[in-house]
Amino acid sequence: MEERRYRSASGAPIALRCRQHSASCRELAVRCPRLQLRSLSAVTSAVWLAAYGLFVLSENSMVLSAAIFITLIGLIIYLHFVKIDQESLLVIGSLGIQVTSSYASGKESTTFIEMSQVKDVVINEAIYMQKVIYYLCILLQDPGDPQAVSEVVPLFQSSMPRLDCLIEVYKSCQEILEHRKTVPQSS
Amino acid sequence: MVLKVFFPSCCSSAESGILIGRWISEQNSAVILAVVHFPFIPAQVKQYLSEVQQVTKVNVSVLGSWSNSKQEKEESLSKFLEDLGTIFAHEPWIQISKEGDSKFWNCSTLQKHSNNPKEEEIILVYYDQRKVMLSHLHPPLDTAPSTDHTSDDASKLSAVFDTVARSKVLFMTDRYDDGPIKLTHWQSDGVEASIIVELLKQAAVPACMLLTFLLSLIAGVCRSRVLKVWPLSFLWSKLSTCEQLGHRLQHLQLISSNKKAQTQAQLMRKANIFVSLLIDVALGILLMSWLYRKNRIGHLADALIPVADHVAEELQDLLQWLMGAPAGLKMNRALDQVLGRFFLYHIHLWISYIHLLSPFIEMILWYVGLSACLGLTVALCILSDIIALLTFHIYCFYVYGARLYCLKIYGLSSLWRLFRGKKWNVLRQRVDSCSYDLDQLFIGTLLFTILLFLLPTTALYYLVFTLLRLLVVIVQGLIHLLVDLIDSLPLYSIILRLCRSYRLA
């Protein structure tokens, strides 16, 4: 259970923690860069300066209290719905894959994908404006049609790790996914 | 292959006993439903399980043993539990044990007839029995498996949800029942029920029957021949209130029908309609209580006539403007005067009619306002109908202007074809060339010129009245949009999603 430091696609520091619970169960968690104090103070000061400017123009003190409320409520909404603290992937061979995102306010949202629906876990390339970004994704298949890929679920959307971190995660996942191909499924 | 054991979280503090549940062999997983405690007689256990199997159609059997010893591990108990495996033959025999206050569990299997003696891996999954039972993830049972592939197609976990959901009757016995078998499951401390819900269920049956009877009476009256005479049927079709009332009647009939909802979708539909009706009537009564206080109806009735007068005056000003030189355009004086005077006389007739009705308006409004107790949607529909009735003259003007314009355009297009020497072939539905006589051409060209130069006047009147009609239609459309929103918003599903999201898959 060690923690290794990597960088995200935009250069911020992130950390990958890999836990092996058993031979067929692994948990990989990526911790996203924290909310920077300087960006928070920059946004707050900008909003309050604008509110003060409006106050000077309109002589209405409601503008100032409205600005304070907006800043507080905006911060709460940002922490609860936008800012992701940690994204983790729990791979249990023969049961499924669980993707968890935990937000800064403590909220956790999980998605569970059954093993019969998972075709493969791959690293894809995407060209975004002038950059080439690598991302890890799960390929889903329709159990009735094992050849076609029905859906692509991208992982680690907020932390956006770089290729070196993704390769570690990819190798861990593939070790477990290989077992289900070698062991025959139904008796 | 990996063995998966689904264990209910309510049984983790249960006394020692044997585990009963369902073994899904194609997925190599065991779904444990309850724990049977000592002392028990194996024959009675088997009989009970076969009874449960008959009722629920779930293949319930004894899967293994569970030991929760407060003291140190007792050798005799473990031997006894292994011997139980010989009485209830099940392959593989699952043994789960928990010692004292230790956090760790011990889970092992006994394979008697196995080919490979290799240790297989066991995954223990803890599940919340109540939530799994209530959540609707299991597939509908109507789609019978016709081919072999459907068992592979269905999601593997849905079999687990299905097993727990279908074993409801197993969870109906609690520890206060005097039976030979003592079980532990999520309801074993007392079957969960609420007095209010039970009372409502008892009261619902006669209430539904009464409601069905009343509704059939009302529906019979509505369908009678008296109300279908031509002028009345035309009137009913034009008034949106009648349509809304008919809609709500249908809803009520759906709710109060005797047969239970077959599928989940039908149940949700019934629940949504019921909640929508409740909210509608509640809002309607709220509106009524607000309206009848402080003589607001009187104020409304008093304000209605001046508003109608004001609208009529504005229209008269508009017509005077059109009869002059509107926006700098030069109209044809004669046609202008004719049309303007015609519309002015119409407005005069309408205003006298409204003034004739004015002493009765308050009483009509008072009685009509009482119908708001049927629901806010009915009140809004009545408002929309009142607006339609008050602006009837605008509708008439629109019809006259549109008819005139339509005739003019029709004539113009036909004469334009004549001007170019062509004709419309009705048989072939296309334009053909045609040779006209000289006098036909002469008169046709003359008429064409007249119509062309009268076009701006008619077009302007048409434009103005169409815009006015559009305004009224937009207002009525917004009201109808609100009515449709209240009718069709699935409030029950929304509230269920927010509060008990595990019940909606």
Cross-chain residue pair B1–A92, CB shorter than 8 Å: no
Residue B60 and residue B169 in contact, taking contact as beta carbons nearer than 8 Å = no
Residue B10 and residue B66 in contact, taking contact as beta carbons nearer than 8 Å = no
The whole-number pLDDT of residue B151 equals 47
- Give yes or no for A92 touching B (CB within 8 A): yes
- Give yes or no for A106 touching B (CB within 8 A): no
Residue A187 binned pLDDT confidence (cut-offs 50, 70, 90):
very low
Collect all residues with Cβ–Cβ distance below 8 Å to A47 and sequence separation of at least 6.
Answer: A67, A70, A71
Collect all residues with Cβ–Cβ distance below 8 Å to B235 and sequence separation of at least 6.
Answer: none
pTM of the predicted model as reported, rounded to 2 decimal places = 0.72
Q: Class assignment of domain B3-141+148-184? A: alpha beta
Collect all residues with Cβ–Cβ distance below 8 Å to B95 and sequence separation of at least 6.
Answer: B64, B65, B67, B81, B82, B106, B107, B108, B109, B110
Residue position matching structure tokens 């607006």: B387
Cross-chain residue pair A116–B26, CB shorter than 8 Å: no
Residue B242 and residue B227 in contact, taking contact as beta carbons nearer than 8 Å = no
Indicate the residue of B1, B125, B149 with minimum beta-carbon distance to A183: B1
Residue A32 and residue A14 in contact, taking contact as beta carbons nearer than 8 Å = yes
DSSP-derived letter for residue B138 is: S
More confident residue, A12 or B2: A12
The whole-number pLDDT of residue B145 equals 45
Closest chain B residue to A187, measured at CA: B26
The torsion angles phi and psi of B121, rounded to 5 degrees, stand at -80, 140
The whole-number pLDDT of residue B146 equals 44
Q: Which two tokens stand for residue B165?
A: 């959901």
Closest chain B residue to A25, measured at CA: B123
Q: Name residues of chain B where pLDDT drops below 50.
A: 141-151, 153
Using one digit for the tens of pLDDT, what is the confidence trace for A18-38? 999 888 889 999 999 888 899
- Spell B361-372 as b/e; 16+ CB within 10 A means b: bbeebeebbebb
Residue position matching structure tokens 């369908």: B223
How many CB atoms neighbour CB B292 within 10 A? 14
Collect all residues with Cβ–Cβ distance below 8 Å to A135 and sequence separation of at least 6.
Answer: A123, A124, A126, A154, A155, A156, A157, A160, A166
For residue B283, count CB atoms less than 10 angstroms from its CB and return exposed for 0-12, middle for 13-18, buried for 19 or more: middle
* Domain limits, chain A: 2-35+83-182
> Sheet of A96-103: strands edge to edge?
A2-7, A13-22, A25-31, A84-92, A96-103, A108-114
Shortest distance between the Cα of A152 and any Cα of chain B, in A, equals: 18
- In chain B, ranges of CATH 3.40.140 domains: 3-141+148-184
Using one digit for the tens of pLDDT, what is the confidence trace for A68-99? 999 999 999 999 999 999 999 999 988 899 99
**What ipTM was estimated for this complex?**
0.78
What's the CA gap between B233 and B227, in Å, rounded? 7
Task: Reduce the DSSP state of residue B29 to 3 states and report it.
Answer: strand
Shortest distance between the Cα of B60 and any Cα of chain A, in A, equals: 21
Between the CA of residue B207 and those of B59, B196, B204, what are the distances in Å? 39, 16, 5
Q: Virtual CA dihedral for A155, A157, A163, A168, nearest 10 degrees? A: -40
Closest chain A residue to B3, measured at CA: A94
How many CB atoms neighbour CB B498 within 10 A? 8
Residue B100: left if φ>0, alpha if ψ -120 to 50, beta else—which one? left
Level-2 CATH architecture, domain A2-35+83-182: Roll (2.30)
Cross-chain residue pair B123–A187, CB shorter than 8 Å: no
The whole-number pLDDT of residue B140 equals 52
**Does residue A184 register a pLDDT over 60?**
no
What's the CA gap between A114 and A96, in Å, rounded? 4
In 3D, which of B130, B133, B131 has the Cα closest to residue B161? B133
In 3D, which of B370, B293, B336 has the Cα closest to residue B464? B336
Kindly give the pairing relationship between strand A25-31 and strand A13-22.
antiparallel
The whole-number pLDDT of residue A76 equals 94
Using one digit for the tens of pLDDT, what is the confidence trace for A94-122? 889 999 999 999 999 999 998 888 999 99
Closest chain B residue to A142, measured at CA: B153
How many CB atoms neighbour CB B152 within 10 A? 15
**Does residue A169 register a pLDDT over 50?**
yes
Alpha helix (H) residue ranges in B292-391: 296-323, 333-370, 376-390
Indicate the residue of A93, A143, A184 with minimum beta-carbon distance to B2: A93
Q: Which amino acid is at B42?
A: P
Residue B160 and residue B7 in contact, taking contact as beta carbons nearer than 8 Å = no
Q: Virtual CA dihedral for A178, A184, A186, B3, nearest 10 degrees? A: -70
Cross-chain residue pair A23–B121, CB shorter than 8 Å: yes
Shortest distance between the Cα of B122 and any Cα of chain A, in A, equals: 10
Cross-chain residue pair B1–A22, CB shorter than 8 Å: no
Cross-chain residue pair B26–A25, CB shorter than 8 Å: no
Task: Reduce the DSSP state of residue A31 to 3 states and report it.
Answer: strand
The beta-carbon contacts of A143-151 under 8 Å, at least 24 apart in sequence, are A143/A116, A143/A117, A143/B152, A143/B153, A143/B154, A143/B155, A144/B149, A144/B152, A144/B153, A146/A119, A149/A119
Q: Which two tokens stand for residue B433?
A: 């060339």
